[in-house]
Structure 1
Amino acid sequence: MSGATKIDDVYSAIEEGARLLDVSCSRDDVWPILTAYEGALAQAVLVLSMASGENHTGELDYTITVPLGEPDPYALALSKGFTAATDHPVGSLLSDIRERCPVRGYAVDCGVTGGFKKTYAFFPLDDLQGLAKLAAIPSMPRSLAENSEAFARHGLGDNVTMVGIDYQHRTMNVYLGKFGPECLEPKTVVSMLEEIGLPEPSEQMLEFIRKAFSIYITINWDSPKVDRICFAVITQDAMELPSRIDPEIAHFAKSAPHAYDGDRILVYGSTVAPGGEYYKLGSYYQMPPDTFKLLQTHDAIQDK
């Protein structure tokens, strides 16, 4: 569009993504957040995300990476009134992590209907963090310590690539990566899920999990249990398993806007929770060249 700014472009993409999901998108809700993080937009990785299932529809999330040189993403959200200050440990976790661990960058996660939701902290890929080290952070949910040995027994004790902090739900995510294929064998996955108190996935999900490049868990401050676990698969195939079994995911996978040449880069998440299993989809809208090169290390991403 003539005279368009980066915010215009990003907002248009978010609006288009919301329309694909029949989700109401208000400029008054989204524009202030884009303006607050405007300094990061030009070089940010931008992802549009949705989830399937009756309890997860009606929302489009958008994720924006924020480099170290920009203002603290949580402090900025507080100053803009996107989230309320709190005495709960969720409010101090990001700063506590930053004081004790190397951080290479951040991200924020927001919804077109839910507003500001999360911050993320990324660790250097050559200095992944251990679960035991993170569990010792004072504001960390104690459920991480309760379950860290179970993950370590399955080869995932020193594989933390990033964390996510959800201020609305007072939960957090711990992301595990750079693990061997043996960690994704069905017997290993079933054993690990049984140990942390989650149900066995379906056969089709276990087969899909074999392709995962990242595993992340959701925990909270009120329970010693793992809330849920997600296995993420990166691909350029819009008709991967979740799309074949869920028309809404298929529609979004084939139609989500993207601002780079070639096929969309997609991340499917197969999620196991106490109440059953469901799928998520993240579609990369914007991707700086360095990020694309990094993603090309995955066999599913081709240079097209």
Structure 2
Amino acid sequence: MPAPADVHTVHAAIEEAAGLLNLPCPPDTVLPVLKAFEPFEGGVIFSASAGEGHAGDLDLTIQVPRAVTDPYAHALAHGLVPRTGHPVSTLLAELARHVAVDEYLIDFGVIAGFNKIYVHFPRDPQSVARLAALPSMPRALADHADLFARHGLDRVAMLSVDYRKRTVNPYFACPDGLAARTLPALLADLGLPAPDDELVESARKTFRTYVTLGWESSRIERISFARALDLPLVTARTEPEIVRFVTGTPYTYDGERFSISIVKWSADDTWFNVGSYYQFGPLQREVLGKVPR
């Protein structure tokens, strides 16, 4: 495996990616996070959202160094997240006690700052029931257990905790995607508008389906379907700078750039997120190597 990239190399790549979106890359937001979570031993991913009300930032997902065993405490010690008595502050520790964690990742925006911590456990996927039993987990996960089971969403391979918005995302593994009939039925059960056929065909090739849950209500705030990049669909339905971004970001590995597209649904909107890998970690290569293109 190549030597980990240094802070200045990664920062330069972030500046280049931000420029593709016509965004600044303020060092007082970006550098404190990079310095707190170096060295960059594994995955580094650029991502951006498209559509009115969703665009306007460049998000970075970075694998946490192996030496950092508690990324929340680490972020707290570096002043990246506020100290709080909310259950969002204890969920990560509960997960670590009950799940065989393969890796942690963080997410931050070049404008917004630190957002999330991801707990990735694809080799020890968890049932909804087991995760819902954690004391700090939002009640919404248990409340929708029957709905998830009805649509074959029963094995969670990753969970993210958003400290800024106080939400969580359970990521369901979908190694074979979803049946064409499943996706419209799932959206209907969630009370979401019916998608057109082109969106169904694209989104059903998902390798990870995830929902957004909070502590304040049992409502599923949105549902998202991640797949290998569907460039024709993204080109037809997003702004030109999103296409420029997802096809032009720098990357460090041999072969073609690997990118993903995510279709997101809420009660009010449908929009896209796109992501491109700057650097792979071994586990990401293993997981994404099985994703249909």
TM-score bracket, shorter-length normalisation: over 0.9
- 1:66 to partner: Cα distance: 1.6
| Residue 184 of structure 2 corresponds to residue 190 of structure 1 | yes
- 1:101 to partner: Cα distance: 1.9
User: 1:203 is matched with which residue: 193, 197, 200?
Assistant: 197
- 1:172 to partner: Cα distance: 0.8
User: 1:285 is matched with which residue: 278, 284, 290?
Assistant: 278
Distance 2:158 2:98 in 1: 14
**Amino acid across the alignment from 2:169:** N
**Amino acid across the alignment from 1:147:** H
> Which residue in the other structure is 1:10 paired with?
10
> Which residue in the other structure is 2:142 paired with?
145
| Residue 261 of structure 2 corresponds to residue 268 of structure 1 | yes
| Residue 48 of structure 2 corresponds to residue 54 of structure 1 | no
- 1:151 to partner: Cα distance: 0.7
Q: 1:123 to 1:67 in 2, by over 3 A?
A: farther
Distance 1:164 1:149 in 2: 21
User: 1:156 is matched with which residue: 150, 153, 158?
Assistant: 153
**Amino acid across the alignment from 1:163:** L
- 1:185 to partner: Cα distance: 2.5
User: 2:206 is matched with which residue: 212, 219, 242?
Assistant: 212
Distance 1:186 1:168 in 2: 35
Is the Cα contact below 8 Å between 2:68 and 2:74 reproduced in 1? Answer: no
Is the Cα contact below 8 Å between 1:217 and 1:228 reproduced in 2? Answer: yes
Is the Cα contact below 8 Å between 2:211 and 2:223 reproduced in 1? Answer: yes
Q: 1:248 to 1:130 in 2, by over 3 A?
A: same
Q: Which runs of 4+ in 1 moved over 4 A?
A: none
- 1:249 to partner: Cα distance: 2.1
Distance 1:22 1:149 in 2: 44
> Which residue in the other structure is 1:135 paired with?
132
Distance 1:44 1:128 in 2: 21
- 1:67 to partner: Cα distance: 4.7
- 1:105 to partner: Cα distance: 1.3
Secondary structure of 1:248's aligned partner? helix
User: 1:242 is matched with which residue: 234, 242, 256?
Assistant: 234
| Structure 1 stretches lacking a partner, 5+ long | none
**Amino acid across the alignment from 1:146:** D
Identity of aligned residues (%): 39
Is the Cα contact below 8 Å between 2:106 and 2:116 reproduced in 1? Answer: yes
RMSD (Å), alpha carbons: 1.7
Distance 2:282 2:170 in 1: 26
Is the Cα contact below 8 Å between 1:173 and 1:216 reproduced in 2? Answer: yes
Q: 1:105 to 1:63 in 2, by over 3 A?
A: same
The CA deviation string for residues 229-284 of structure 1, in whole angstroms up to 9 with x for no partner, is 0000114x6x2411232223211111111111222100100011111200000110
The CA deviation string for residues 109-163 of structure 1, in whole angstroms up to 9 with x for no partner, is 00101111100111142x2100111111111111111111101111112x10000
TM-score by length of 1: 0.90
> Which residue in the other structure is 1:232 paired with?
226
Q: 1:93 to 1:256 in 2, by over 3 A?
A: same
Range that drifts further, 47-56 or 67-76: 67-76
| Number of residue pairs the alignment of both structures matches | 289
TM-score by length of 2: 0.93
What are the within-5 Å matches in structure 2 for residues 155-174 of structure 1? 155-157=152-154, 159-174=155-170
**Amino acid across the alignment from 2:223:** I
- 1:293 to partner: Cα distance: 4.3
